[in-house]
Every structure is written in C-alpha cells, then in structure tokens.
Amino acid sequence: MFVLSQQRLKTFPRFVVIVILALIYYGIAEISRHIASTPQSVTPVWPPDGFASAAVLIFGYQILPGILIGSFLANIWAFFNADSWYMAIASVLQVVGIAIGTTLGTGFGNYLFRQIMKGRNLFRRLNDVYKFLLLIGLIAPMINATVGVVCLCLGGKVSWSGFGTVWLTWWISNVAGICIFTPAILSWYEFYLKHLNTIRDTKQFPFGDQTQSSRLNPWRIFEAITLIIIVVCLSLASFYEEYDLEYMLLPCLVWTVLRFGILGTTNLIVVITMIAVSGTVKGLGAFGNDSTHSLISLQSFIVVMVVTTLSLISILAEKQQAIASLQQSKIRLVNKSIQLESSKTSLNETALMLEKQNLALTEAKKAAEEANRTKTEFLSNMSHELRTPLNAILGLVQLLQESKNIDYQEKLDIQTIYQSGTHLLNLIDDILDISKIEAGKMELHLQDVYLLRLLQELVDIIRVQANQKNIEFIYLFSPRLPKIIHTDSKRLRQILLNLLSNAVKFTNKGHVIFRVYFPQVIGENITETSTNILINFEVEDSGIGISVDKLESIFLAFEQVGETHFKNQGTGLGLAISQRIAEMMGSKIIVSSQRGVGSVFRFSVKFQVPESNLSVKPNVSIISGKSVFEQNLSQRLPLKILVAEDNIVNQKVAHKILSRLGYEIDIVTNGLKVLDALNRHSYDLIFMDVQMPEMDGLEATKRIVNDHQRSHRPYIIAMTANAMDGDREICLDAGMDDYISKPVNVNLLVEALLRSQCSTHKA
C-alpha cells in the first residue's frame, strides 16, 4: 500500500500539507464545474474525491482536515444563499454537512482498506484491486453521496422525491473520479519512490551499471507517441464525432498495460476520460444527448474501462511475481546443485575424516572404559586390603568390649579404637558409594524385609552411641506398622543410620527422637489389605542446629557445616549419599533447623507390602542396653562349623568370636582343603572366604554344589572383604547361601547363623 512513512512526513509541516490539499481539492472542483459540467449542472466525473483518496493513502489520516476544508470551499460558493441571515446560516450548515460527509466517506473507506491490506501494494494482486474498488471506489462514495444529498434535501435544494436520482448521479460521479484519478496519482507516487531509490543506490554505488537507467530507448519513445496518437484519434472520433469507436480503446489499453505498465495505463485512462467528458458535456459523441441515461452510460463505460485495465495490471503483476519466484527457486536449485557437486568432490575426504573421528572416539571410549575399569579395580583392591586388617581390629575390639577383666578407663580406650575403626570403615563405604553414584551404577535391590527387625537393629546401634554421650534416645513407632515391606533394606538402613548417627554426633545434651509413622490422613484409612503404604521417617535432635544459609549445602558431597571439631569426625559424604538414595526411592530428605535449638530430618517412602501383614503391637520405649554375645547360642542352635580363611589374624578373630558364642570350629586356608575336609567330616555350615590361594572360595563353592546333593551339602556363608557393588550377587550366583562382609559385625554374624537353621541344606 502507498502509505508515506511518518519520518518522511515530518520533513513537511502538517499544516502546510493540509492547506495544500485543501487548495488542490478546491481548485480541481472549480475546474471540473467550469469545464466538465453538463447543461443539467452535473459533473459526470468528480476528480476531487480521487485526489483526496490518493492523498489519504499516501499521507495517512492526519490530513483529513484538508479534505474537510477543501470540500467546504468547493461547495460554499455553489450553495451559499445570502438573501437573509437565516438562509446564510442554513446554507453554511448545509455545506458543512456535505464536507463532513465527504471527509467521513473518504476516511472510513481508507480505514477499511488499510485494515485489510496491511501495507501491501494494491496493484500487485487481483484480490487487492477488487478490495480497493469495493471499499474506496464504492462504499466510501455511498457515505459521501448519502450525507450530501440528505443535506441538500434538508436545505431545500433538492426535493425528497428526487432523492434517488440525485443520489445515483452523485454516487456514480464520485465512483468515476476515484477509479480514474486515485490509481493515476498512486502510480506517479510509485514512480517517484522508484526514482528516489535509484538515486540513493547510485549515490551508494557510484560505479555501478547505469546503462539501463541513463539511456532511453528511441524505439520505446516512438511506440509511446504512436500509441498516444492512436488513442487520441479514437477518442476524438468517438466522443466528438458520431462514430461508435469507443470500445476500440480497450485493445489500446491492453497494449498499454503490456508495454508501459501501470503508470502509462492509468494516465492514458485520464486522457481518454478528459476527452470523453469534454465531448459529452458539449452534447457531442456517443453520449452527447441530454438524457440522464447518457451520463450513466458514459460513467459506466469509464468504470468498466478502469476495472478491466486494473484487473489486467494485477493479473500480469501476479504472473510476474510467480515467474520471479520460479526463477528464484531455479537459482536456489542451481546453487544447491553446485553445492552438491562440491560436496561430492569432498565426500571422500569427509568420509575419511569421519572414519578418523570414529577411530578416535573408539580409542577414547576404550581409554575411558579402561580408566573406569582401573578405577573400579583400584577401589575394589583398596576396599579389600583395608577391610582385612579392620576385620581383626573391630572383631577383637568387639570381644574386648564384653570382657569383664578390664577397668573403666580401658573400656573407654577400647571404645575409642572401635569408633576409629568404624569411622574408617564408614569412610571406605562412603567412597565406594559416591563412586557408584557418579558412575550411575548404584541400583536398588528390592526384597521382602522385616521392618521392625530392621528398626530394632538401628535402635541397638544408636543407643550405644547415645549412652556414651549420656543423652536420651527415644524411639516412637506407629502401632500399625506393617511386618514386612518390599524395599532395599541395605539402602534404607544406610539413610536412617546416617541421620541417627549425625543426630547423636551433633547433640551434647538433651535427646534424640526417632519416629516412624503414617501420615495422618493415610494412617486413619489404612486397611488390612493395603498393598501400597506411605511411611514417614523422622529424626529429631536437640543439638547445635544448622544456620538457614547452610541448609542447602549440607546435601552436597564433601560439604560439612557446623563447628570445627565436628568437621573432623566425618567425610561430608553421608548426607549427599543419603539424599541420592532417597531420590532413588522416590523421596527427598527435608530438614528444618534452628541454631542452638536443634534439627529435624524427615522423609517419606511409599512401600509395597504383602496383604494382611500389618502389625498391631505398639512399640514406644526408652532404650536399654544388652550384650551382643549370646554365649548359649551353640546350645540353642548346635552347628558344626568350618571356617575357610587364609589370613592368620582373621582366623584368630573368627575363632575368638565363634568360641565366645559357644562353638568349636575347624579352620582351613584354601578351597582345596575345604573339599578335603568335607571328604573327611560332615559340616553344617561353612564360613567361606573368597580370595584364597590354590583354589578360591567361588570355585570351591561350585565344586561343593556340584558334588553334593542340595539336601545334604553344608550351608555356605560368604565371609569376605569383597564388598563392592555386585560382590554379593557373585557369591550367591556361585552357589553360596548367604553373605556377610568384613569387618565382621557380631550382630550380623549371629543373624546369618539364625537364618541357616531355616535352610534345608543341613544334613
């Protein structure tokens, strides 16, 4: 659409543009009345509205006051009546109404057109030409004619009975003026913009190709002059003589469209219209009689001529756009083909480069796998080598803790040794766990677990720590906890033990409370057939507390908060590992704390539970201690035990622990001697080390499983320092029945012995 930008309009004061438009409107109206007025005082074509519509399309709505003023000046001298003050005022109001109608029609038609066009050039598409003719060429003059004729009727200039005839004549003359002069002015404006761009490009590129713009084709000039002469001759013959040749002008217009475009066509229509109107108002030519029908025929001819040529112009423009688009597509296709050809020439190089990259990636992958394998082997060896001496330290310390031949200070020293050994063991486990988490290899191993037994184990461990610090340890369990839950007992125990141990460590006085309960709503609706139960775990302490700005960082690896002397008591991995495990279980550990008051850690886990296994026994108490060694266990559970262990220190530890439980054992140093011992004696249970000389524990177990009937072979428990993820499964896959890791915890060892009594492997 031809709309002048606001920036360009600023180069002219708005007032000046409005005044110029008003004078042009008034001047063209006066010329039209004097030159193109019929004996009936009717102008077949009203050019001022054509100029007004073009001006609004170019400059915008802000020049509408110029149309209002111009229309007022154009009509005041035609309708002003000075016979009396009343008549003068009435005639002025009448002219003001006509001017308002002209302004409203022009503004409303242009508004509708702008909303639909959205800045497009109206000569480029056939649909846009029809929208221009409908909105600006037909609807806008309707408003103008309706308001104008109503004002004339109210002022007594026209009778109401003649409203229809006067309205039709007024409307068609406005339609003809807009259809003829608006496209012509817009075509000149488009020519001006193109010329301006050419000048700008010439200034920007002064050494460019100027042959097309600077030279005029003489044959083109000759063709244009010839065409003008032919059109003028046909127009004079049609509208000044009695020859009916007016429709011969249409082929000439088609010729103009094809050869000279919109500028030549629209201006040639103006020439034809001026000759036709001039001859008609003089009573000459095909439309020269005095009847109203002849004027309508002249106006209809003009409108048909304009519509036909504008339609042809837009059709050709669409065709040119389609050809240009096709050419652009062809150019893009050629460029793509060139690129493809160049790509083909370098295809071998690219393939070779990709092959090299693949080889490099393969080598990098192998190196990464080798590094990861080396890291895993290192961690496995480190864990095994550290656990072996720790087994002796912690095993003997557990025995010494139960001795009655040492004084109080010696017990404290032994407890210090036990705590240091446990700390080192926890450090090893934490490093292994964080390594597995970083590698994405930590997995949950779900199985049916006795919940209350797991909780009681935790209670037994924590009460020792609490008693040593002389703080109160309270556990509160819901009376309807399920007996059995389906979970990874090792990882659940790890989270709870970490939270409880931290609570004791950071509490110097007061209490630590361990709560396990149902959420209030779920707890009230739990049934005997529930298969999915949400259980809350909560650890509360009255310790030193945590600052608010430190609450997020406590779950980061190797981060420790609190007082300096507490930081030396851990690795900073426990809470990070616990949070990751909780997330694997579909939960998250939440902490609330206040400095000097204490902290509360809580998390919730949804467990699967077998049907009809919910406990109804309450369990609320303050913990009291008991010995971990049951010296009459051998009487309650008589077993003949063989220990396969090559390390002398570990042999002594195993002998002392099992002797304290009342058992007499045999010890061998490798797998071959295990097989030899089985040939000479019958054993109920074997504690089997894995790494032994001559024949390891895995191979010995496979031999036993293959050589003995399942109902008569001994119950085999792996007792090994191999504690990496998957070591338990390796042992069980080899045929072992149970697994405990070194350093041996007496409680876990006793549990393994108790589990063996349920086995069908006993002789």
Question: Which of 271-280, 314-323, 511-520, 551-560 has the weakest average pLDDT?
Answer: 551-560
User: What pairs with residue 448 in β-bridges?
Assistant: 486
Cα angle 659, 662, 666 (rounded to 5 degrees) comes to 50
- Cα 751 to the center of its chain, rounded Å: 53
Tokens of 50: 């054509």
Q: Are the CB atoms for 598 and 540 separated by under 8 Å?
A: yes
HSE-up of 152 (CA within 13 Å, CB side)?
23
* pLDDT surpassing 70 at residue 384: no
103 vs 348, more confident: 103
**Distance between CA 729 and CA 745 in Å, rounded?**
20
Instruction: Give pLDDT tens digits for 621-655.
Output: 333 434 456 667 888 889 999 999 998 888 988 89
114-157 tens-digit pLDDT: 777 665 566 677 777 777 778 887 888 888 888 888 888 887 77
Could you give the CA distance from residue 566 to residue 690 in angstroms, rounded to a whole number?
38
**What gap in Å lies between CA 132 and CA 183, rounded to an integer?**
10
Confidence of residue 517 (pLDDT cuts 50, 70, 90): very high
> 688 falls in which pLDDT band (50, 70, 90)?
very high
What would the mean pLDDT of 601-625 be, rounded to a whole number?
A: 62
pLDDT of residue 88: 80
Selection from 583, 588, 582, 572 nearest residue 434 by Cα: 572
Cβ-contact 493, 458 below 8 angstroms: yes
Say if residue 536's pLDDT is above 90. Answer: yes
Report the mean per-residue pLDDT for the chain. Answer: 78
Helix, strand and coil in the chain, % to nearest 5: 65, 10, 25
Report pLDDT for 568: 44
CB 70 within 8 A of CB 52: yes
pLDDT-based confidence at residue 746 (cuts at 50, 70, 90): confident
Q: In the chain, count of helices (H) and strands (E)? A: 25, 13
Cross-strand bridge partners of residue 667: 643
Which pLDDT score, from 0 to 100, does residue 470 have? 92
Task: Provide mean pLDDT across the span 93-113.
Answer: 85
Residue 202 has pLDDT above 60, yes or no: no
Q: Is 757 exposed, middle or buried (0-12, 13-18, 19+ CB in 10 A)?
A: middle
Structure tokens at 745: 């915890």
Phi, psi of 166 (to 5 degrees): -65, -40
pLDDT digits (tens, 9 = 90+) for 364-378: 878 777 766 676 666
* Residue, of 196 and 88, whose pLDDT is higher: 88
pLDDT at 709: 63
Q: Which residue has the tokens 């656990």?
A: 387
Each residue of 356-367: pLDDT tens digit?
A: 888 888 888 787
Confidence of residue 44 (pLDDT cuts 50, 70, 90): confident
Higher pLDDT, 607 or 268: 607
Could you tell me the pLDDT band of residue 38, with boundaries at 50, 70 and 90?
low
Q: What is the mean pLDDT of residues 416-442?
A: 69
Q: For strand 715-720 and strand 738-741, is the pairing parallel, antiparallel, or unpaired?
A: parallel
- Predicted local distance difference test score (pLDDT) of residue 535: 94
pLDDT band for position 561 (cuts 50, 70, 90): low
pLDDT at 609 over 90: no
Cα 367 from chain centroid (whole Å): 36
Q: What percent of the chain has pLDDT over 90?
A: 16
Q: What is the pLDDT of residue 683?
A: 92
Lowest-confidence pick of 575-589, 685-699, 742-756: 742-756
Q: Mutual orientation of helices 163-204 and 292-345 as an angle, nearest 10°? A: 30
Q: What are φ and ψ of residue 620, in 5° steps?
A: -130, 115
Per-residue pLDDT of 154-178, as tens digits, reads 877 778 888 888 888 788 888 888 8
**pLDDT mean over 437-458:** 83
Q: Which residue has the higher pLDDT, 241 or 476?
A: 476
Report pLDDT for 442.
Answer: 73
> What's the confidence (pLDDT) of residue 500?
94
- CA 39, distance to chain mean position in Å, is 75
Where do the H-state alpha helices sit in 60-139?
64-79, 85-117, 126-134
* Helix, strand, or coil (residue 631): coil
Whether pLDDT at 618 is above 50: no
What are the residues facing 170 on neighbouring strands? none
Total Cβ atoms within 10 A of residue 393: 19
Q: Which residue has the higher pLDDT, 351 or 289?
A: 351
Put the strands of the sheet holding 685-688 in their side by side order.
665-668, 641-644, 685-688, 715-720, 738-741
C-alpha Rg value of the chain to the nearest Å: 53
pLDDT number for residue 257 = 79
Q: Which of 452, 460, 494 is nearest to 477 (CA)?
A: 452
Please give the Cα distance from 262 to 190 (Å, whole number): 10
The SS3 assignment for 535 reads strand
Ranked by mean pLDDT, the top range of 188-202, 329-343, 390-404, 492-506 is: 492-506
Torsions phi, psi for 439 (to 5 deg): -85, -5
Q: Which CATH fold topology does 443-622 show? A: Heat Shock Protein 90 (3.30.565)
pLDDT at 664 over 70: yes
Which one is the CATH code of 633-756: 3.20.20.100, 3.40.50.720, 3.40.50.2300, 3.40.50.150?
Answer: 3.40.50.2300
- Residue 727's nearest CA partner among 756, 702, 691 is 691
